[in-house]
Amino acid sequence: MTATLTVPDYREQAPEVAARFTRLKERPVILDVQGLTKTFTVPGRPTTLALSDVSFRVHRRELMCVIGPSGCGKSTLARLVAGLEEPNGGKMLLDGKPISGPGPDRGMVFQSYTLFPWLTVLKNVMFGLEVGKGSSATEAEEEARVWLQLVGLTKFASAYPHQLSGGMKQRVAIARALANRPRILLMDEPFGALDAQTRCQMQSYLLQIWKQVDITILFITHDLDEAVYLSDRILILDAHPGRVREVMEVPVPRPRDQDQFMTPAFIAARHHLEELIHPRSAQTADTLPMFRMTVVGDDVE
């Protein structure tokens, strides 16, 4: 690594990228979050402020990543939007209507797969269709097969979740969430438990799916490359308390592919994230208070 490498400004956008953002912002707002606040109270401990006055908007068919240091409340944000937690203040509007409680209009993909182990892959995808939309079993099956085809798992329709690999499980979870035709798909570090290679593969699958399906995605991650690679815009949160630091427009043109990792735009975006999330000053402060425990002269560096 050469420290002298000059990185272009992440705000410089190629004309086609700028045009794309203009079009994106003209699209209707799907999710409108205003002044969202969330505190956690544990008896006998001081109240912790997880999210403080968080506001942002997600437009139709946008893919927005939420990134931030650990403890910034990014998972809490997804759970609030999903309706799994109650906010302490602020408003969340989905298509202009306030969110209350979980519902099939907001799909969620969890890091821990959460497939129902007692159902086959096909039945897992059918679950939401039957339970949430009230489709008949035959309708649901027909539709579920289409979604399985979309994630390339037709062959595994009658397999049980424990027979699948992590990446395959997560594809089923995505198909299951999408089958309900939610307005927004919330993904809470969905690829966090996968190995690096599978993760790359899943990212490109997700981009392909997102391109083919009318879906808006709010994607929680702590992986900077993942955020830049996937997002239109990135919501950067600060920790303790979690608040919006910046909403960054990713200058990398679409369609994306893995080769763009070395383009100036990608490096610029990534560099900016790095500075915001792992500031250089914090890194030096983190040196371990270590005693020398080797023989003098036995140096490795």
Partner 1 sequence: MRRSWFRPLAALSPRASATLWVASFVLPVALWCAVSYVPFIWHTMVRVRDPGDVSWFTPGQLVERAAFDAENANVLAHHGKLAAGRLANPVFLPAPHEVLHALVHGFLTPPARPDEPWLHQSLWHSIQVIFWGFLLSSILGVPLGILCGAVPALGRLTEPFIEFFRYLPAPAFGALAVAVMGIEDAPKVAIIFIGTFFQQVLIIANTTRRIDPALLEAAETLGASRRTLVTRVVVPGVITDIYTDMRVLLGWAWTYLIVAELIGVSSGITYFINQQAKYRAYERVFASIILIGLIGLTTDVVLASLGRQIFPWMRGARRGWFSAAIDLFRRREPEAAVVDPAVQA
From 256, 225, 233, select the one nearest 31 (Cα to Cα). 233
Q: Which stretch binds partner 1 (CB under 8 A): 101-109, 148-156, 246-254, 267-275?
A: 101-109
Applying CB under 8 A, which of residues 45, 46, 118, 285 lies at the interface with partner 1?
Answer: 118
Q: Vertex 82, ends 79 and 86: CA angle to 5°? A: 65
* 120 touching partner 1, by CB under 8 A: yes
- Nearest CB to partner 1, comparing residues 179 and 276: 179
State the amino acid at position 148 in one-letter form. L
* 242 touching partner 1, by CB under 8 A: no
* 114 touching partner 1, by CB under 8 A: yes
94-125 CB burial, b ≥16 within 10 A, e <16: beeeebeeeebbbbbbbbebebeeeebbbbbb
- Nearest CB to partner 1, comparing residues 122 and 265: 122
What residues between 245 and 284 interact with partner 1 by CB under 8 A? none
Which token pair is 267? 């490096």
Using CA atoms, how far apart are residues 139 and 131, in angstroms rounded to an integer? 13
Applying CB under 8 A, which of residues 13, 135, 170, 180 lies at the interface with partner 1?
Answer: 180
* 174 touching partner 1, by CB under 8 A: no
At its nearest, how many Å lie between partner 1 and the CB of residue 272?
33
Which residues, other chains included, contact 115 with Cβ-Cβ below 8 Å and sequence gap of 6+?
A: 121, 124, 161, 169, 172, 173, 176
- Per 3-state DSSP, the chain is made up of helix, strand and coil in percentages (nearest 5) of 40, 20, 40
Applying CB under 8 A, which of residues 84, 93, 193, 239 lies at the interface with partner 1?
Answer: 84
Alpha carbon 18 to chain centroid distance? Answer: 23
* 190 touching partner 1, by CB under 8 A: no
Applying CB under 8 A, which of residues 73, 107, 190, 242 lies at the interface with partner 1?
Answer: 107
238-263 CB burial, b ≥16 within 10 A, e <16: bbebbbbbeebbbbbeeebeeebeee
What residues between 18 and 77 interact with partner 1 by CB under 8 A? none
At its nearest, how many Å lie between partner 1 and the CB of residue 102?
4
Using CA atoms, how far apart are residues 231 and 265, in angstroms rounded to an integer? 13
Applying CB under 8 A, which of residues 123, 169, 171, 270 lies at the interface with partner 1?
Answer: 123
Applying CB under 8 A, which of residues 133, 222, 254, 271 lies at the interface with partner 1?
Answer: 133
Residues at the interface with partner 1 (CB under 8 A)? 82-84, 102-104, 106-108, 110, 112, 114, 116-120, 123, 127-128, 131-133, 158, 160-162, 173, 176-177, 180, 186
